[in-house]
Structure 1
Amino acid sequence: RISGPIDESLSKLHFLSFIRLDQNNLSTTVPEYFANFSNLTTLTLSSCNLQGTFPKRIFQVPVLEFLDLSTNKLLSGSIPIFPQIGSLRTISLSYTKFSGSLPDTISNLQNLSRLELSNCNFSEPIPSTMANLTNLVYLDFSFNNFTGSLPYFQGAKKLIYLDLSRNGLTGLLSRAHFEGLSELVYINLGNNSLNGSLPAYIFELPSLKQLFLYSNQFVGQVDEFRNASSSPLDTVDLTNNHLNGSIPKSMFEVGRLKVLSLSSNFFRGTVPLDLIGRLSNLSRLELSYNNLTVDASSSNSTSFTFPQLNILKLASCRLQKFPDL
């Protein structure tokens, strides 16, 4: 491990292309002269206890591909306008004090595959030009102050991971937001103010394993969805919304489901234990605080086992006998 500050003599290495100083106690600012390294392709300075304001010009180094400043909680800055042709493939600013808005010119970064901005102070709407990032694979904007509606990602056909949780996003969720995103494995839109009904299509995404939509303002009935028996879904969290009607039967046909959290909604009707029993891989089941009745009186109830179940929440589910699990 080395400690800072970064010596001025480094500025004389004009052809420097790779700087990796992660997990050193530099306790200093990032030198402005880094922006003069015209061959710089990689700059990774995560967990270096960096301070001050990060020089904007470094973002604009034409050949820079990898920029990681994550986990520097005293480092502030903002993202500048990007030139017409940028080379950046990875930008990681998570757990810093970066703030401001994301520029529309983010779409100029046509090679961008990974964008991590979680736990910062970003605000304003997410630019609609995000739809043009055709190589985007991983996007994490969680724990910020982004506002406005959810952007469309129709051009990001390679997108695997999408986390926009714990922001101030509003508006509707539609089929068009996710149409064609066949590689998407993880969606977390929890803790926003999204509203309207849930499109059944979101449950039909062919690669989706984990879906978190908790703590929003979704309303209406959750419609039946197709291909439930072959779905790769293992986690569905719709907790703390305003959803009503019956729980769709197709939800109990998703054999790989490990986590089903539907608490604090307005679901109604009777849920027989034998229906829940189809989900033999469940480790977490939460149905509390709805208008549901869980019927454990079925004569076949003893034939269902949940060997992996470790969390069971059925408060206010009108149980007349405890299920034999």
Structure 2
Amino acid sequence: MKSLEYLSLWSNNLSGPIPRELGNLKNLTRLDLSYNQLTGPVPVSFGNLRNLQILNLDANKLSGSIPKEFAYLDNLVSLSMSYNHFSGHLPERLCQGGKLEIFTVNSNKLTGPIPRSLSKCSSFKRVRFNNNNFTGNLSEAFGIHPELRFIDLSDNDFHGELSSNWGKCENLIDLRVARNNISGSIPPEIGNLNLSNKFGQNIPKDIGRITQLNVLDLSYNLLVGDIPPQLANLKVLVNLNLSHNGLSGCIPKELETSTGLHDVVSSYNELEGPIPNNKAFINASLEGNKGLCGNVAGLHPCEMSSSVVKRHSMAKGRKLILITVLPVMGALVLLCVFIGVLFMCNKRRRVRDVERRDGDGWLSISMLDGKALYRDILNATEEFDAKFCIG
């Protein structure tokens, strides 16, 4: 059937090897053999299918290496080989035609680094490398993919740090690199995140700028500090997983406005305080924290929470100090004023009593700041005689 263009045999009970004669159908543009019981290697004759645009071999029992002859398939738009037993390295020069948009090889036994032709494939839109044994430095393995929307690199042996190049993939909404050996900090430019690794430091506040984020999985890392309230800016966020980290403080009250949030996992951190009044937290996984409270199953009501009681006691203690100290200080001020008034009144009374007339009609001073009597002064100076004048 040399004129055949479309052959779809998916989801049957076909078994045995793939006939190499299928490589003679040079006008095929689509071949779908997925979800069968096919075994053995992929025929190298598939390299003759130069017009092939879609090849789907998912969910079989195929084994061996992926033929290097696939590099001749310049018109491939979609190549799917997931859930098989393929092993060895990916062939070089895949995507050399620059048309490959969908490439899925997840759940095989593939090894080695990502070929350069794939790491630079600018036509990628959806890619799955997860559940293999791929290696390499992730900061160098991929470049900038302007059309890429989804890529899953989870469950491999990648190392290094995440490159900020991922943030330059303007259409990327889902990046998954869970369970690798990636370390370092999270670049704030990155979009949709599933990053279970060994990341340290804080959750970057710039994540709140990625408004199309709908899945954020940062579980099983070494993240510390507070949960940034900027997460509330992610209006389309549906799934949030922050479990198994060292996050502390309160869950931001701002998340009450995240009406689209559906699934929340914040277990095994050091979070405390009340949970946000959001329906997503009613069935959320929150166990393993030290002081969360709220009216949901598994948590103490907030008025019974030890952390809240402690804070309330501290506030009550400060209030008691203010109540005690302020009146005492006020009383001391009033007492000082009262003593000052008494002193002034006493001084004025003494001045009024200074002058008085004696029996001889002379003006006498009984006491003036401890000095001698005025009469004694008069007598001593012979009534202020000039010979006693000293200046």
**Where on the TM-score scale, by shorter chain, does this alignment land: which range?**
0.7 to 0.9
Which segments of 5 or more consecutive residues in structure 2 lack a partner in the other structure?
A: 298-391
2:277 equivalent in structure 1: 305
Give the % identical residues: 27
2:262 equivalent in structure 1: 283
Matched, 1:249 2:229: yes
Matched, 1:186 2:168: no
Matching of residues 118-197 of structure 1 within 5 Å? 118-150=106-138, 151-154=141-144, 156-176=145-165, 178-197=166-185
- CA distance in 2 between partners of 1:40 and 1:256 (Å): 41
1:53 equivalent in structure 2: 41
| Structure of higher RCO (CA pairs closer than 8 Å, 6+ residues apart) | 1
Which segments of 5 or more consecutive residues in structure 1 lack a partner in the other structure?
A: 1-12
1:80 equivalent in structure 2: 68
Matching of residues 92-107 of structure 1 within 5 Å? 92-107=80-95
1:324: how far off? 6.6
Q: Secondary structure at the match of 1:50?
A: strand
1:132: how far off? 3.1
* Structure whose residues are more often helix by fraction: 2
- CA distance in 2 between partners of 1:103 and 1:133 (Å): 14
1:315 equivalent in structure 2: 287
1:72: how far off? 0.7
| Alpha carbons of structure 1 residues 289 and 23: separation in structure 2 relative to 1, 3 Å | closer
1:295 to 254, 267, 273: 273
- CA distance in 1 between partners of 2:292 and 2:213 (Å): 31
1:225 to 197, 206, 215: 206
What is the identity, as a one-letter code, of the residue corresponding to 2:219?
T
Matched, 1:115 2:103: yes
| Alpha carbons of structure 1 residues 68 and 258: separation in structure 2 relative to 1, 3 Å | closer
What is the identity, as a one-letter code, of the residue corresponding to 1:123?
T
TM-score, normalised on structure 2? 0.68
Q: Secondary structure at the match of 1:184?
A: coil
1:234 to 208, 214, 230: 214
What is the identity, as a one-letter code, of the residue corresponding to 2:115?
P
What is the identity, as a one-letter code, of the residue corresponding to 2:142?
Y
* Structure whose residues are more often strand by fraction: 1
Range moving further from structure 2, 38-47 or 77-86: 77-86
Matched, 1:33 2:25: no
What is the identity, as a one-letter code, of the residue corresponding to 1:295?
G
1:62 equivalent in structure 2: 50
TM-score, normalised on structure 1? 0.81
- CA distance in 2 between partners of 1:134 and 1:321 (Å): 49
| Alpha carbons of structure 1 residues 272 and 157: separation in structure 2 relative to 1, 3 Å | closer
What is the identity, as a one-letter code, of the residue corresponding to 1:196?
G
- CA distance in 1 between partners of 2:279 and 2:286 (Å): 18
1:321: how far off? 3.9
What is the identity, as a one-letter code, of the residue corresponding to 1:313?
S
Contact 2:160 2:182 in 1 (8 A): yes
